[in-house]
Amino acid sequence: MALRLIKNLPAAELTAWLQAHGQAAFRLKQIRDWLYSRWAIDFVAMGNLPTALRQALTDDFLAFGLEPLETQTADDDTVKWLFRLVDGESIETVLIRAPDRQTVCISTQVGCPVRCTFCASGRDGLIRDLEPGEIVDQVIAACRHLQQRVDNIVVMGMGEPLLNLEHLIAALDLICGPECLGVGARHITISTSGIVPGIRRLAELRRQWHLALSLHALTDEQRGRLIPARYRYPLAEILDACRYYRECTGRIVTLEYALMAGGNDSQDDALGLAALARRLDAKINLIPCNPVSEHYQAPAERQVRAFEERVRSLGAKVTLRQRKGERIQAACGQLRRRTPAAAERPDQASPE
């Protein structure tokens, strides 16, 4: 039987395990210190624990659940990893380096059940949810690489985080918990394609996490061309849920808008987007679309700038996100698609 990742265990279970092994309660703090402050990847390294305890931990648990299969670094210091999970599946994690802050972009699922037509992650549908420990270990890997704690976390890698919500919450509690990684809640951004029950559940937790909605289109009809029906909610319900999130947490929502030439980049789109953002008091993040399929291309740079200017002139708060790490295929799901396991799967992309 495969060993359990120790980070998947609720604190009470680990405490009970320590008791059953005749260990004092302070060992929990020591173990956490190794896992979350020193980013240990095995129990043998935990020098201040008795040898017998290190052996018992090794017999029962895994300290770290990822094995790097590929590491790519771009000129701008973006690092992208393809990690192998214990069961042989693979996920992607990206570290985006800037002089003043280190951001890690993490995955929450292997594949994605939503299957947006412009996204590489959803091509094969959902393979499986990530466990809390597998989500946290992506952050640990980035900390180990930097030899410092990361500053920001964006949940924008593979998968729809709000369709693996319980594991996401457990992982974020470890990432934010002062006794674990201790990253400030305001430094976490969760991006969703618009899963209404998930947005409402998150709102009611009243954490200070930042919510980003992948809007990309301004009518249900236009969105219907990008997102298959199964997990697509009516825009009005999504916007209501975002308003509720704002009310419950006090935090401004971000609207992600991937510009697609001839798809959502018209003057009317700019007008609609600015109006919607103003109504919601949201800020807009424009992203030139990554061309993962021949059907979607980013508009020319001049047009991207013109769209940005138009939205701004209409009174909305807007930023243009530079495409970092394009050369290393940093768009989510692109790297994993090149692995042998993924190549064996039939291409199932099918807009509904």
Helix (H) or strand (E) holding 47: none
- If the CB atoms of residues 18 and 120 are measured against ligand SF4, the closer one turns out to be 120
Task: Round to the nearest angstrom and report the end-to-end CA distance of the chain.
Answer: 40
CB of 311 to ligand SAH, least distance (A): 17
CB of 158 to ligand SAH, least distance (A): 7
Helix (H) or strand (E) holding 142: helix 132-146
- Of residues 92, 131, 134, 160, which has the active-site annotation? 92
Q: Does 334 bind ligand SF4 (CB under 6 A)?
A: no
Residue 93 binds: one of ligand SAH, ligand SF4, none (C-beta under 5 to 8 A by kind): none
Q: Does 265 bind ligand SAH (CB under 6 A)?
A: no
Which of 192, 254, 264, 329 touches ligand SAH (CB under 6 A)? 192
Q: Does 103 bind ligand SAH (CB under 6 A)?
A: no
Buried b (16+ CB within 10 A) or exposed e, 314-342: bebbbebeeebbbebbbbbbbbbbeeeeb
- If the CB atoms of residues 131 and 160 are measured against ligand SF4, the closer one turns out to be 160
Residue 226 binds: one of ligand SF4, ligand SAH, none (C-beta under 5 to 8 A by kind): none
Q: Express the helix, strand and coil content of the chain in percent, nearest 5 each.
A: 40, 20, 45
Which of 31, 292, 318, 335 touches ligand SAH (CB under 6 A)? 292
Q: Are 124 and 342 in contact (CB under 8 A)?
A: yes
- Amino acid, single-letter form, for residue 16: A
Contacts of 258 (CB under 8 A, 6+ apart): 118, 214, 216, 264, 287, 288, 289, 290
Active site residue 332: yes
Q: Does 287 bind ligand SAH (CB under 6 A)?
A: yes
**Residues of this chain, 328-347, that bind ligand SAH according to CB under 6 A:** 331-332
Helix (H) or strand (E) holding 211: strand 210-214
Catalytic residues: 92, 332
Residues that bind ligand SF4 (CB under 6 A): 112, 114-116, 119, 121-122, 159-160, 193, 214, 332
